[in-house]
């Protein structure tokens, strides 16, 4: 079975034969921040219902939340506790957020 995503990424095979072919970008690629904003706008435009963000309290999930706030996109953070206490030190940041 082949999966086609945005006409640039093709996945085929399974198990040991699984692979992904990615075509080169057909547009000028922006900064990490610009590409994050474009992706979040796309997600917001195509979502059904409310938007939930799994939030561990770490830098990467906080970055996504801050970008959503920057865009004015309404979302609900869902604080995730990773076992066995993998992100225990980050939970306090998630709760403060």
With cut-offs at 50, 70 and 90, classify the pLDDT of residue 71. Answer: very high
Please say if the pLDDT value at position 3 is more than 80: no
- The pLDDT confidence band at residue 6, using thresholds 50, 70 and 90, is low
Dihedral of the alpha carbons of 68, 60, 91, 41, in degrees to the nearest 10: 20
């Amino acid at each position: 079975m082949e999966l086609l995503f945005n006409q640039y990424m093709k996945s085929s095979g399974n198990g040991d034969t699984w692979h992904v072919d990615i075509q080169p970008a057909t547009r000028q690629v922006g900064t990490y921040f610009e590409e994050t904003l474009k992706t979040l706008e796309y997600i917001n435009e195509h979502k059904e219902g409310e938007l939930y963000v799994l939030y561990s309290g770490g830098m990467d999930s906080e970055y996504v939340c801050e970008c959503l706030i920057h865009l004015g996109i309404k979302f609900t953070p869902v604080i995730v506790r990773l076992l066995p206490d993998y992100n225990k030190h980050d939970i306090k940041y998630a709760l403060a957020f």
